[in-house]
Amino acid sequence: MIYNNVLGIIFANMHDESVSELTKVRTMGSILFGGRYRLIDFPLSNMANSGIPEVGVITKSNYQSLLDHIGSGREWDLSTKNGGLHLLPPFSHNNSGLYRGRIEALEGVLPFVQNSDADYVVMSDCDVATTIDFRTIIREHVKNNADITVVYAKHNFTDKGIGSKASTILEVNSDKRVTSVMVKPDILGEVNRSLNIFVIDRRILEKVVNRFSAEGYASFDKQVLQQNKANYKIYGYEHKGYYVKIEDMMTYYDANMDLLNIENKKQLFHNSAPIYTKVKDSGPAKYKEGSHVKNSLVADGCIIEGTVENSILFRGVKIAKGAIVRNCILMQNTIIDENAELHAVITDKRVTVGKNKLLTASKTNALFIKKNQKIEDE
């Protein structure tokens, strides 16, 4: 069984800066997504479902919510004697602030990698929500005799939004060998976009981290994939399944709204590979007299008396009588009081919107209300 021979590494803080509103109080991995999940649920569940027995989560700052969420890893069946889940907070001896890149993040936890006797390492960031079987990718990696395999997906960049400026773009030949790498370019059209998911030989990973961190480099994509592509056997693996990649507030908004398309939801959540998350023991969602709900995702513990359309409601959201919520993302325990009206609003956890209050924005530029904020009655 080669999969017992695999170590998982998840970068919880990578890309924090791209959605700074949401990461002010948490890591990228603990951003709430899709009604009841946090982004780290996706790589963690994929690793667990792929039979990877040992997973390290590298984190650096704002990790209280992350620790609270993943706990001992039991929800992902990673609370085991051999292997299991390891939280790797900074081994803080020098710098502070955010990691500048994967190499720097890995340097801090190198003993964890060295102590593993795995042959392969699966690395994933938390900016992509998808369901993916790492076993298939490892099989390809072994078959190609590759040093590094980069998971990519086809994407058609248009001139809308952030475009390609937050992505690494690959070109591959007919054997899937990576021939060209562009880091955060500004281009249009259909290209191969890296999903920030990699399989790499553990010994090569150690060498790469030792060498490039000593030389002061931080970026894995630039230094390893781009500058040294001739020195390593780097292959691409095309992921054809459904995915969303979160790169700024707009892509965050769109990625959530995308789940209102039932076909997308079916592809992201299938019975054979469930996405696990922390259990909260909320009651069922309650629809009271006068409720009017259409085209929405609703989590357990919500109590609805008003109107909700085209929206995502996380656990424990309360919508009072006469309130109207359209095109909104309302995170845990948001309270919308009587006759308040919200259009294209994202509320963080425990936001209260007072009676008769009107908040409107556009779907292309949703209004964000930060955690714990109370907006008074009108």
Task: Name residues contacting another protein, limited to 64-83 (CB under 8 A).
Answer: 74
Residue 61 burial by Cβ neighbours in a 10 Å radius (0-12, 13-18, 19+): middle
- Amino acid present at 218: A
Interaction between residue 133 and another protein (CB under 8 A): no
Q: Nearer Cβ to another protein, position 34 or 90?
A: 34
Residue 8, both tokens: 């998982």
Nearest by Cα to 260 from 308, 196, 220, 192: 308
Rounded to the nearest whole angstrom, what is the least distance from the CB of residue 42 to another protein in the complex? 12
Rounded to the nearest whole angstrom, what is the least distance from the CB of residue 174 to another protein in the complex? 38
Interacting stretch for another protein, rule CB under 8 A, among 81-89, 96-104, 247-255, 269-277?
269-277
Angle CA(134)–CA(137)–CA(141) in degrees, nearest 5? 135
Of 8, 43, 301, 306, the one binding another protein by CB under 8 A? 301
Of 13, 124, 149, 277, the one binding another protein by CB under 8 A? 277
Q: With H, G, I as helix, E, B as strand and everything else as coil, classify residue 356.
A: coil
Interacting stretch for another protein, rule CB under 8 A, among 50-58, 194-202, 260-268, 359-367?
260-268
Of 166, 260, 361, 367, the one binding another protein by CB under 8 A? 260
What kind and span of H or E run contains 243? Answer: strand 243-245
Rounded to the nearest whole angstrom, what is the least distance from the CB of residue 324 to another protein in the complex? 16
Interaction between residue 142 and another protein (CB under 8 A): no
Interaction between residue 262 and another protein (CB under 8 A): yes
Angstrom distances, CA of residue 85 to CA of 3, 65, 67, 79, 220: 16, 16, 11, 6, 24
Q: Running DSSP on this structure, what letter comes out for residue 223?
A: I
Q: Is 338 left (phi over 0), alpha (psi -120 to 50) or beta?
A: beta
Q: Nearer Cβ to another protein, position 204 or 303?
A: 303
Say how far apart CA 168 and CA 15 lie, in whole Å.
Answer: 13
Task: Name residues contacting another protein, limited to 35-54 (CB under 8 A).
Answer: 35-36
Phi, psi of 38 (to 5 degrees): -120, 155
Phi, psi of 308 (to 5 degrees): -135, 125
Interaction between residue 265 and another protein (CB under 8 A): yes
**Which residues are within 8 A (CB) of 271 and not within 5 positions of it... i.e. 6 or more apart?**
none
Number of residues that bind another protein (CB under 8 A): 37
Residue 254, both tokens: 């769109």
Say how far apart CA 324 and CA 328 lie, in whole Å.
Answer: 10
Task: Name residues contacting another protein, limited to 279-298 (CB under 8 A).
Answer: 279, 281-291, 293-298
Rounded to the nearest whole angstrom, what is the least distance from the CB of residue 74 to another protein in the complex? 7
Query: What does the buried/exposed string (b/e) look like for 1-36 if buried means 16 or more CB atoms within 10 Å of the residue's CB?
Result: eebeebbbbbbbbbbbebbeebbeebbbbbbbbbbb
Rounded to the nearest whole angstrom, what is the least distance from the CB of residue 260 to another protein in the complex? 8
Interacting stretch for another protein, rule CB under 8 A, among 51-59, 117-125, 151-159, 300-308?
300-308
Q: Nearer Cβ to another protein, position 162 or 303?
A: 303
Rounded to the nearest whole angstrom, what is the least distance from the CB of residue 121 to another protein in the complex? 26
Interaction between residue 258 and another protein (CB under 8 A): no
Nearest by Cα to 345 from 376, 324, 372: 324
Of 22, 275, 324, 325, the one binding another protein by CB under 8 A? 275
**Per-residue binding letters, 305-324, with another protein (x by CB under 8 A):** -------xx-----------
Rounded to the nearest whole angstrom, what is the least distance from the CB of residue 115 to another protein in the complex? 28
By CB under 8 A, name the binding residues for another protein. 34-36, 74, 260, 262, 265, 268-269, 274-277, 279, 281-291, 293-301, 303, 312-313
